[in-house]
Amino acid sequence: MKELIAAQRRYFFSGATRPPAFRKGMLTRLEQAVLRHESLLTKALEADLGKPPFEAYATEIGFALSQIRFLRSRLERWCAPRRAPFSLATFPGRTVVRPEPYGVSLIMAPWNYPVQLTLAPLAAALAAGNCAVIKPSAYAPETSGALTNMLSEAFPRQYVAVVEGGRSENAALLEEKFDYIFFTGSTETGRAVMAAAARRLTPVTLELGGKSPCIVARDADLETAAKRIVWGKFLNAGQTCVAPDHIWIRQEQQEELIERMRRHITRFYGEHPLDSPSLPRIVNEKHYRRLLALMDAQKVIFGGGSMDAALRIEPTVMADVTEDHPVMGEEIFGPILPILHYDDLDALIAHLQQKPSPLALYLFTRSRAVERRVMGGLSFGGGCVNDTVIHLGSHHVPFGGVGESGIGSYHGKAGFDTFSHYKTIVRRGALDLPLRYPPYGDKALRILKKLM
């Protein structure tokens, strides 16, 4: 690893990665590699997670291709130095702000969206002019292997390299000196990554998670809420960092919402969801057993079935759950949806303000006043009103967490910014203002106060 990182650093300092034309060419190469390997990536995602081809393309391969093309079409403009407005401190002179790449970046990807969450930050790193070491998750071995083959074929290792393996490889990489670290994964592991980065003062982006709430207001359209909550929650079998983790609803609305969700679950996944080709599986035995332990048969009112041999769990709804229940003690990250009750919206907002800031928050309401109260009163990474999950689909807006759900953001321009240092340069000639030089006097101070 030391030799690999040293080789990447030498390549970076050669200046080869800096010209915008080179960066655009490398993004084109990445796009072509994805297109050539699309079938293999789709099969790998099916093998690791049971993802149907539509979901694999919509949430992984197609998303990555769209991100690559978006970055490539705009990076030349983003790379250009930006002239800063006049400032007394720099007059007379010209000030420019120039984006420059950090150097050698480490991108640590998770298993739940292993293609998207590897290639989207990689595309941003390359667009910004960096070299990259990729560490895919060992929990998605087929996809890890497919990405390794694809990227090794497309790029020389001194520019883009993949390091496969498990925890020992993760730990070894974090012992090395990188110029930037981009990590996607759990909050617990994110703390370890940040601690390792702190030893070398390496800047980091942490894309984490949390218990993202879904609030159903009194005036919500329950049919729309049911359909979109079911879609967002059970996408990828609930193994989505921005999935609605749980629902807050008034008790008198619960029965109607549950009945509507029941109909949509049946519509999406059939009478026997465990046999549905549209429902992915749980990634491994460990997570499968963890999820089964979170289900309470006395609270389950719909679903609850499982298939050990296939690591599949039915879309499951648990009603009348309280916050002291085990399912509320951690991010669920699976197809289990608890429903909790609230009586007063302002009291719920005050209660949620005391919780760690989640990665996402969802609100269903027809009232702009309610929207303002909830969206303005709570801290979260991003979210939707009257929908779920889709806010991360636009390349025109940043995606990221806040507090325990993450540090920093990416997607589109935000990704280019994340992997760029903005360097300020002042260029001056011989003309000078003598006021700044000592000896200082009362007259100079009076003039300074009028100027500033």
Which active-site residues does the annotation give? Answer: 207, 241
Helices 62-79 and 20-36: crossing angle in degrees, nearest 10, is 170
The DSSP code sequence of 362-374 is EEE-S-HHHHHHH
349 alpha carbon, distance to own chain's centre? 25
User: Cα(255)–Cα(260) distance, rounded to whole angstroms?
Assistant: 9
Q: Is 60 helix (H, G, I), strand (E, B) or coil?
A: helix
Block residue for tokens 């920093």: 408
Closest C-alpha to 276, from 313, 223, 241: 313
User: Cα(276)–Cα(112) distance, rounded to whole angstroms?
Assistant: 19
Segment holding 356, helix H or strand E: none
Cβ atoms < 10 Å from Cβ of 94: 13
Under DSSP, the state recorded for 357 is P
Closest C-alpha to 160, from 8, 29, 27: 8
Q: What is the 3-state secondary structure (H, E, C) of 390-445?
A: HHHHCCCCCEECCHHHEECEECCHHHHHHCEEEEEEEECCCCCCHHHCCCCCHHHH
Contact (CB, 8 A) for 160 and 132: yes
Segment holding 318, helix H or strand E: strand 316-318
User: Cα(1)–Cα(161) distance, rounded to whole angstroms?
Assistant: 10
User: Cα(315)–Cα(304) distance, rounded to whole angstroms?
Assistant: 7
